[in-house]
Amino acid sequence: MILIDWYSALMVALGAFFFVAGCVGLWRFPDELSKLHALTKADNVGLGFVVLGVIPQVAEMADAIQLLVIWVAVMLAGAVSCYLLASQTQSQQLEQPDVDEHQTGGNQ
């Protein structure tokens, strides 16, 4: 293997590591907002490493540019969807009554 192949393998392996780390964060974190943060950040970084690993292997510059455009589109879609899910979760949490207040009768 030549140096470019080693570089590509390393970048794709790093990307896979970040994808797995995001999945572990999704599984282990307690609340929805922490899960969203772990998943979106790790997936964006993981996809970035995969793209950086694949770019040296493509034959034409147009393919490399297309990979970069896809990466940017995925980052934008992830940011927008994460924002929408977080705002919906936060508004639902504000609408729910406080459980401790109802259990104690509100007298503290």
Number of domains observed in the structure of the chain: 1
Q: Which residue has the higher pLDDT, 36 or 45?
A: 45
Q: What is the pLDDT of residue 9?
A: 96
Give the pair of three-digit tokens for residue 10. Answer: 């390393």
Q: What is the pLDDT of residue 99?
A: 56
Whether 66 is in a domain gets the answer yes
Q: What is the pLDDT of residue 84?
A: 86
Whether 105 is in a domain gets the answer no
Please give the Cα distance from 108 to 90 (Å, whole number): 26
Encode pLDDT of 47-83 as tens digits: 999 999 999 999 999 999 999 999 999 999 988 888 8
Whether 91 is in a domain gets the answer yes
Q: What is the pLDDT of residue 46?
A: 93
All residues at 6 or more sequence positions from 48 whose CB lies less than 8 Å from its CB, including other chains: 15, 71
pTM of the model: 0.76
